[in-house]
């Protein structure tokens, strides 16, 4: 039984997408202690942005006469725009980059809005409020045709069309994995900085962090803005992968609960853990989906339910026997006392000589 190359390309692509989303949740929950059960809000917000804004702007540039409406004449409009960007790789790359930046800004705005209940609420009440906010955005997208075509959705210009043929999937995979790598490095740098230590302090003991002069309200706001911006970029990349946007492609199971499972299984407070959790979760789902015909003789129910049973079982086992996750959080590295004394002595020497 041979495994086609397209299986691995698609697997790495989906892993890259969920790594981005999971790391954004890990920033919010694993490091800052904010239980963001409204992760769908940012993911869908980024997708809705690329479905509503870039296409209309491109129609204004390349079809100034206004003969085609981007939603009502969606197929004709997108076909025309694809022909334009397919012949100009630089235009496709600019379109992709600007759209991702715009999606990140839109996600940051949603994160700022979400920070208001995060300032006043804690625990279960905050989780329920953020979950409700995400559902409100999804319902709006599904019932407001002028935004992204309502329940039918819209096609969007394909930034990978210029690659063409079977290489399109590879180009999309490389792009998504590159963005995931950039996000990983960025978060590692942030979380090893004084800001990262302040987030851990807020998570472990909010009152003590306030006593030591940390602005907890501002830290929560910053965390949600950055986390939601990253998740929105993940949602935008998913839309570019499918070259379409529909509110029904986004739901709380896939884009809220699954990232939570990935972070918990991999290990909260650790970006490597989020990466491992996403890799295991997506690989297991992909194997069940791709080879479900092989599992049918061995299960007395529809194989489609097997992934939910196995993933639920995996979550229970991890919570019972390894609650810290497969890759536990490592303690913050600090200077040893000898190095601190040497630095202090050097500073005193320089101050006295100056």
Q: What's the rounded mean pLDDT across residues 210-237?
A: 91
More confident: 236 or 63: 236
Count of domains in the chain? 1
pLDDT for residue 5: 78
Read off the pLDDT band of 140 (50, 70, 90): very high
**Which domain covers residue 255, as residue numbers?**
5-353
pLDDT at position 275, please?
A: 94
Instruction: Identify the pLDDT of residue 48.
Output: 95
Over residues 171-212, the pLDDT tens digits come to 999 999 999 999 999 999 988 888 888 889 888 888 888 888
> What was the pLDDT predicted at 195?
87
State the pTM of this model.
0.90
Coil/strand/helix, residue 155: strand
Q: For 44-56, write each residue's pLDDT tens digit.
A: 999 999 999 999 8
DSSP strands (E only) in 106-225: 154-155
Average pLDDT rounded to a whole number, residues 238-255: 91
Q: What percent of the chain has pLDDT over 90?
A: 38
pLDDT of residue 69: 82
pLDDT at 334: 66
**For residue 99, what pLDDT band results from cuts at 50, 70 and 90?**
very high
Which tens digit of pLDDT belongs to each residue from 266-283? 988 889 999 999 999 899
CB atoms within 10 A of CB 45: 28
> Looking at 64-68, 167-171, 234-238, which range is the least confident one?
64-68
User: Mean pLDDT across the chain, nearest whole number?
Assistant: 87
Would the pLDDT of 292 be above 80? Answer: no
pLDDT of residue 65: 62
Give pLDDT tens digits for 121-138: 777 788 888 888 999 999
**pLDDT of res. 46:** 95
CA angle 103, 109, 113 (to 5 degrees): 140
Whether residue 3 is predicted with pLDDT greater than 80 in this model: the reply is no
The larger pLDDT score, comparing residue 289 to residue 31, is at 31
Query: 66 falls in which pLDDT band (50, 70, 90)?
Result: low
Q: Is 61 a residue whose pLDDT tops 60?
A: yes
- The CB-side HSE value for 199 (13 A sphere, CA atoms) comes to 27
3-state secondary structure of 244: strand
Any idea which of 159-163, 228-232, 254-258, 305-309 has the lowest mean pLDDT?
Answer: 305-309
User: What residues form DSSP beta bridges with 244?
Assistant: 155
DSSP letter for 332, please: P
Structure tokens at 202: 């807020």
As beta bridge partners, residue 154 has: 245
User: CA-based diameter of the chain, in Å?
Assistant: 82
Phi and psi dihedrals of 155, rounded to 5? -80, 155
pLDDT for the residue numbered 216? 86
Residue 234 pLDDT level (bands cut at 50, 70, 90): very high
Dist. CA 144–CA 116, nearest whole Å? 25
Q: Is the pLDDT of residue 9 over 70?
A: yes
């Amino acid at each position: 039984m041979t495994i086609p190359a397209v299986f691995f390309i698609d697997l790495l692509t989906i892993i890259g997408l969920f790594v981005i989303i999971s790391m954004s949740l890990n920033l919010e929950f694993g490091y800052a202690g904010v239980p963001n059960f409204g992760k769908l809000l940012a993911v869908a917000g980024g997708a809705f942005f690329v479905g509503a804004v870039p296409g209309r702007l491109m129609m204004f540039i390349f079809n100034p006469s206004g003969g085609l409406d981007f939603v009502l004449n969606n197929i004709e409009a997108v076909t025309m725009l694809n022909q334009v960007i397919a012949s100009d790789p630089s235009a496709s790359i600019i379109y992709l980059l600007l759209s991702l930046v715009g999606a990140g800004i839109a996600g940051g705005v949603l994160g700022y809005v979400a920070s208001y209940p995060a300032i006043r609420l804690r625990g279960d009440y905050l989780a329920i409020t953020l979950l409700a906010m995400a559902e409100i955005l999804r319902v709006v997208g599904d019932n407001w045709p002028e935004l992204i075509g309502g329940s039918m959705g819209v096609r969007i210009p394909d930034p990978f069309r210029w690659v063409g043929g079977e290489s399109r999937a590879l180009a999309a995979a490389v792009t998504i994995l590159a963005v995931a790598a950039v996000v990983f490095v960025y978060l590692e740098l942030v979380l090893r900085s004084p800001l990262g230590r302040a987030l851990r302090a807020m998570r472990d003991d909010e009152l003590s962090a306030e006593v030591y002069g940390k602005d907890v309200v501002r830290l929560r706001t910053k965390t949600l803005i950055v986390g939601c911006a990253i998740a929105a970029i993940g949602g935008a990349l998913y839309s570019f992968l499918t070259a379409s946007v529909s509110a029904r492609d986004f739901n709380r199971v896939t884009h809220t609960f699954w990232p939570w499972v990935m972070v918990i299984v991999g290990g909260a407070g650790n970006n490597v853990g989020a990466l491992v959790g996403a890799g295991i979760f997506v690989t297991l789902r992909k194997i069940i989906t791709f080879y479900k015909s092989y599992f049918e003789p061995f299960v007395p129910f529809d194989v489609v339910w097997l992934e939910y049973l196995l993933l639920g079982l995996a979550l229970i086992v991890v919570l019972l026997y390894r609650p810290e996750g497969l890759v536990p959080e490592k303690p913050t590295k600090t200077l040893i006392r000898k190095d601190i004394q040497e630095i202090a002595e050097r500073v005193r020497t320089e101050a006295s000589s100056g």
